[in-house]
Structure 1
C-alpha cells in the first residue's frame, strides 16, 4: 500500500477550515476527516472540562484512523489534535501531558494554516471573536515548534480555495508552476 499523505487544515476560529476541508476532499477525490470536537462539544450539557479535552484528543485520533483507509492518496484533516493543546492551554492554563507527548508521534505531511482575513461568523461553538490575531500567532508558534511544513492560505471566496489547491499541488510536485 502506498503512503497516504496527510494534509491538515488548521487555524483560528472562523477561518473556513471545515468548508475548505470539504472542498479539498472533493477536488482531490478523497475523504476529509471532520473535526471531532464539533460533534463532541455540540452534545455537551455544560462547560468543557479538561477531561473533555482528553476525550476530544482520543476521538480525533480514532476518527482519523478509521477514515484513513478510505483516502485516495491524500487524507484531508479538518484540524488536528494540536487544537486540543492550544485550547487546553488557553482555557485551563496547561495541556494534557498525553497530548503533548503524542504530538511528535502523529505528524502531518503538510499544513494549511488558514488566515484570519475572512469575516467572523457567529457559531455557538466559537468563543473568541476578538482574539483571532492572538490565536493566529499561537498557531504559527505551535507549527514552528513541531518543525511543521506549512503555508498560510489567504484570500476570499474562490481565491482562497484556489490558493489552497496551488499550495498542495506545489507540495505534491515541487516543480509545479502557477
Structure 2
C-alpha cells in the first residue's frame, strides 16, 4: 500500500493495492462500469473514479456523478471526481495522451496511483503513465456484455443493465388526462399492462377520498359537493403526484404511464377556484407524450367522488387549450375503448421507435492500437 492511503472502515480486509484509479466517461453508467468499480474496490484501500466526459455529450457531468455515488454508496472508500475533458482522442499521439493525463492528475489532487483498473486496451498505457500496475477487468466483456455505445444506441434493449437512477432519466413519461369519467385510469392501467411496465394513479382522487372521509366523521350525510378546496390542496396534489411519478420511474420499463400531471391539475384548480396559481403553473413538466381522452360517447359513472358531469365539455376544451402550446405531442383518444387503446399503443410504439437522441462522444482521430479498443466512445464510455 502506498503511503498516505489509510484503510477505510468497511473496506477490503487485506487490500492488494493502496490507491486504485478508474477513468471513464460513464456515458451513461451501466452494469459493466459498476462491475469494474466493484473490482477495484475489492482490491484497493482507496479508489478514485475520474468521470471525464466532453462538453458535447448529452448527459450532464453532475448527473453521472450523482448516479455513480448512489449506486456505490456502500463502498465509502471509493470516491468520484468529475472533470470535463474536451481534448481530442488519438491513442497514437503522446502529446494527446499528456493532455488527458493532465486532466486526470488534476482530478487526483496529487495522490499517487498504485493500480489502474480498466476494461479497455488503453489501460496498460494509462497505467504506465502513472507508474502503476495495470489491472485488466473483463476485457472481452464476457461477464457483463454491454458498452456505453450499445446503451446509447438502444437504451430500451439494455434496460436491465441500467441502475435505477439512470432508468429514471431515460424513461419516457406518457401522461393520460381528460375530464371526469372519460377513462384516464382505465387507459393508463391498460397501457401499463400492454407494455409490462408501471403506471402512476391520480393523487387528487386519493386526497378527495380523505377529505370526504374527514367530513363524514363530523357529518355522515356529507357528499362530494360538500368538499372544499384551496390553493394549498392543488400544490399538494402536484407535489405528491410528481414524487410518486419520480419513484415509479426508477423501477419501471422504458415507458411510464401517468394518470394526470401538473397541467391537468391546473385545469382542476381553475374549475374549483376560478383561476390557476403560479405555483401550479410553474410545476409543469414536459413528458414525452400526452394522451387526451375525449368525453363524447363515454357514460358518466357517478361513483360518489365525481361532481361535474355537466362540465365535461368545458374541461375537455380547457385541456386542449392547455396542451396546444406546451411543445409536447398530443394524441386524442375517442370512440370505444378498444379503438382508443389501439390508437394509444400506436403512438407509444412510435415513441419507442424514435429512440433516444444522444450526442456522440469525441471519436478517436485514428484506429486504436488494439482492435479491442475500437469502441469510439473511449475511456470506458
Counterpart for residue 292 of structure 2: 113
> Structure 2 residue aligned with 1:137, among 300, 313, 317?
317
Q: Report the TM-score when normalising by structure 1.
A: 0.90
Q: CA deviation at 1:78?
A: 0.8
Distance, in Å, in 1 between the alignment partners of 2:196 and 2:326 is 29
Q: Report the TM-score when normalising by structure 2.
A: 0.43
* Larger proportion of helix: 1
Contact 2:333 2:340 in 1 (8 A): yes
Contact 2:238 2:283 in 1 (8 A): no
Counterpart for residue 197 of structure 2: 30
Q: CA deviation at 1:119?
A: 1.4
Moved beyond 3 Å, runs of 4+: none
**Given the alignment of the two structures, is residue 55 of structure 1 paired with residue 236 of structure 2, yes or no?**
yes
Distance, in Å, in 2 between the alignment partners of 1:140 and 1:159 is 20
How many residues in Structure 1 have an aligned counterpart in Structure 2? 172
Distance, in Å, in 1 between the alignment partners of 2:229 and 2:209 is 10
Larger relative contact order (CA 8 Å, sep ≥ 6): 1
Q: Is the partner of 2:310 in helix, strand or coil?
A: coil
Aligned residue runs from structure 1 range 1-178, under 5 A: 1=166, 3-44=170-211, 45=215, 46-103=227-284, 106-117=285-296, 118-173=298-353
Distance, in Å, in 2 between the alignment partners of 1:136 and 1:143 is 11
Per-residue CA shift, 1:11-53, capped at 9, x if unaligned?
Answer: 1111100011111001011000111111111000342222211
Q: Where in structure 1 are there 5+ consecutive unaligned residues?
A: none
Contact 1:115 1:153 in 2 (8 A): yes
Distance, in Å, in 1 between the alignment partners of 2:352 and 2:208 is 34
Counterpart for residue 359 of structure 2: none
Contact 1:9 1:76 in 2 (8 A): yes
Q: CA deviation at 1:125?
A: 2.2
Q: Is the partner of 2:342 in helix, strand or coil?
A: helix
Provide the aligned C-alpha RMSD in A.
1.5
Distance, in Å, in 1 between the alignment partners of 2:238 and 2:337 is 31
Q: Is the partner of 1:59 in helix, strand or coil?
A: helix
Q: Where in structure 2 are there 5+ consecutive unaligned residues?
A: 1-165, 216-226, 355-381
Q: CA deviation at 1:170?
A: 2.8
